[in-house]
């Protein structure tokens, strides 16, 4: 059996043997005897020892290199580095460092390199559907190339690429070396990602336990306050009523009625606060047990929340702006996503200023293990939060509202519980006088 039977690709036998140096280094990589970045350096030396190799490039999309100085940072989670033969003009580095849009795309080759090592002996022999690939390689002064993806399941860890300024067949040994290292690096990165995810899960479990203890302690305290008020004032009124049961003293009875009127208002207020806390807890309990996760269209969830909040936003003279791609999906419970967004958008309106703005956006991102995620952000033009407020904003019953603004102080704490139930995270970025951006980060459905 052979590989690369398509037009424009070199046929490379599956049984091609890698070099002894590649076998030795791959073993060290798999046994974790050498750091990954150091192994990449050694692989570059092996690749450039081949007379056909003029440039070798490595892209990392999940792991950040320990020494970032020699790497080009593309976008949020992409790192690129190349090694050149002395005197070579071939280069795959972007002309600027503006962002990920400057990197090569190579759509035709990239699609095939996700399945196997792709060897291109001459870009001019590529089929018409690979015209963009040929154009990009020509701009890089590359006439021949080898490319392979570091892919494990749906997780892309990066890629390995070799370029030559001259056309011609590639050494089968070099192709076998890259095939071997693609498997070794991918296996090592997947193992490290799994270890990191496990450690992160343990930390989050400990944090969740601590948060739960704090939440129940705070809830007990906050419930005790209105209950004590209700019982205390009710007992006083009961005692006074018993003392006046057989009294005909009109002035005393008049004073008692006035006191009842005053204390009844306090009792009603405490009861309303108690009811609001109970309703928050019960509604969140229903959400936490509400159905299984499913693909949720972010734009539809945001549209519903914007509809619900539009009236109070207009009353508060706050403009509500939504800019979300229709194609974005998250893997979560539909009711949970809407509940969290209702809390974030509602808070952004409530704590804004007349003439202010609330902007809801969403973007694709990556998790610590390289998995696809979506971040929904709610930015306001309110007063912002101080560092001390930032450290307490998700604690239960903590409120920074202006006097007269009603609330229990449970909204953000319970929203965080719902987000974490769906495998998400809730966070905030804010500075005093510059507004706040609250965000929820949720997993995207698997490709």
Dihedral-angle region of residue 168 (phi above 0 means left; psi in -120 to 50 means alpha; beta otherwise): left
Residue 222 lies in a domain: no
Residue 187 lies in a domain: yes
Residue 353 lies in a domain: yes
Q: What is the SS3 assignment for 392?
A: helix
Please count the other Cβ atoms lying within 10 Å of the Cβ belonging to residue 350.
Answer: 20
Are residues 159 and 308 both part of a single domain? Answer: no
Query: Could you tell me the mean pLDDT of each successive run of 10 residues in the chain, 447 residues long?
Result: 61 84 91 89 94 93 76 76 92 64 75 89 92 91 93 81 95 93 87 66 55 55 62 68 68 71 66 61 55 85 89 89 91 86 88 91 79 90 86 68 53 78 86 90 83
pLDDT of residue 370: 65
Domain boundary pick from 194, 227, 249: 194
Residue 318 lies in a domain: yes
- Contact in structure between 343 and 407 (CB atoms under 8 Å): no
The CATH number that applies at residue 165 is 3.30.450.40
pLDDT of residue 146: 94
Are residues 7 and 115 both part of a single domain? Answer: yes
Are residues 186 and 322 both part of a single domain? Answer: no
Angle at 196 between CA 362 and CA 418, to 5 degrees: 45
Residue 215 lies in a domain: no
Domain that holds residue 178: 2-194
Are residues 316 and 190 both part of a single domain? Answer: no
Are residues 27 and 174 both part of a single domain? Answer: yes
The packing angle between helices 334-350 and 411-421, to 10°, is 150
pLDDT of residue 1: 32
The CATH number that applies at residue 337 is 3.30.565.10
Residue 239 lies in a domain: no
pLDDT of residue 75: 63
Spatial neighbors of 356 by CB under 8 A, at least 6 apart, are 317, 318, 319, 380, 381, 382
Domain boundary pick from 159, 194, 229: 194
Residue 414 lies in a domain: yes
Are residues 300 and 441 both part of a single domain? Answer: yes
pLDDT of residue 212: 55
């Amino acid at each position: 059996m052979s590989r690369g039977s398509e037009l424009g690709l070199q046929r490379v036998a599956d049984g091609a043997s890698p070099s002894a140096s590649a076998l030795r280094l791959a073993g060290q990589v798999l046994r974790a005897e050498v750091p990954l970045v150091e192994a990449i350096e050694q692989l570059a030396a092996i690749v450039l020892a081949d007379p056909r190799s003029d440039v070798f490039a490595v892209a990392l999309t999940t792991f950040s290199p320990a020494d970032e100085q020699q790497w080009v940072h593309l976008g949020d989670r992409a790192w690129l580095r190349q090694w050149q033969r002395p005197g070579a003009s071939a280069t795959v580095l972007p002309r600027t460092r503006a962002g990920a849009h400057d990197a090569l795309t190579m759509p035709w080759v990239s699609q095939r390199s996700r399945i196997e090592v792709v060897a291109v002996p001459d870009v001019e022999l590529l089929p018409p559907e690979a015209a963009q690939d040929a154009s990009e390689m020509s701009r890089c002064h590359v006439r021949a190339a080898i490319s392979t993806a570091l892919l494990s399941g749906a997780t892309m860890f990066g890629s390995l690429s070799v370029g030559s300024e001259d056309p011609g067949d590639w050494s089968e040994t070099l192709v076998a070396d890259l095939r071997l290292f693609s498997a070794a690096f991918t296996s090592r990165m997947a193992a490290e990602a799994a270890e990191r995810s496990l450690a992160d899960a343990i930390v989050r479990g400990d944090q969740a336990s601590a948060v739960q203890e704090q939440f129940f302690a705070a809830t007990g305290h906050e419930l005790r306050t209105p209950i004590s008020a209700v019982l205390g004032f009710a007992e006083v009124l009961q005692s006074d009523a018993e003392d006046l049961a057989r009294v005909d003293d009109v002035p005393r009875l008049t004073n008692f009625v006035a006191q009842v009127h005053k204390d009844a208002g306090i009792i009603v207020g405490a009861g309303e606060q108690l009811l609001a806390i109970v309703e928050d807890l019960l509604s969140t309990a229903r959400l936490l047990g509400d159905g299984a996760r499913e693909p949720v269209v972010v734009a539809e969830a945001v549209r519903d929340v914007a509809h619900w909040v539009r009236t109070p936003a207009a009353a508060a003279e706050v403009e509500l702006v939504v800019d979300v791609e229709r194609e974005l999906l998250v893997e979560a419970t539909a009711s949970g996503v809407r509940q969290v967004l209702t809390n974030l958008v509602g808070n952004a309106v409530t704590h804004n200023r007349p003439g202010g703005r609330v902007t809801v956006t969403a973007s694709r991102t990556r998790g610590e293990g390289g998995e696809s995620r979506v971040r929904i952000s709610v930015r306001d033009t309110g007063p912002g939060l101080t560092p001390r407020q930032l450290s307490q904003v998700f604690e239960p019953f903590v409120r920074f509202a202006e006097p007269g603004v009603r609330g229990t102080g449970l909204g953000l704490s319970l929203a965080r519980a719902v987000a974490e139930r769906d495998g998400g995270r809730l966070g905030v970025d804010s500075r005093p006088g510059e507004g706040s951006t609250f965000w929820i980060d949720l997993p995207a459905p698997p490709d």
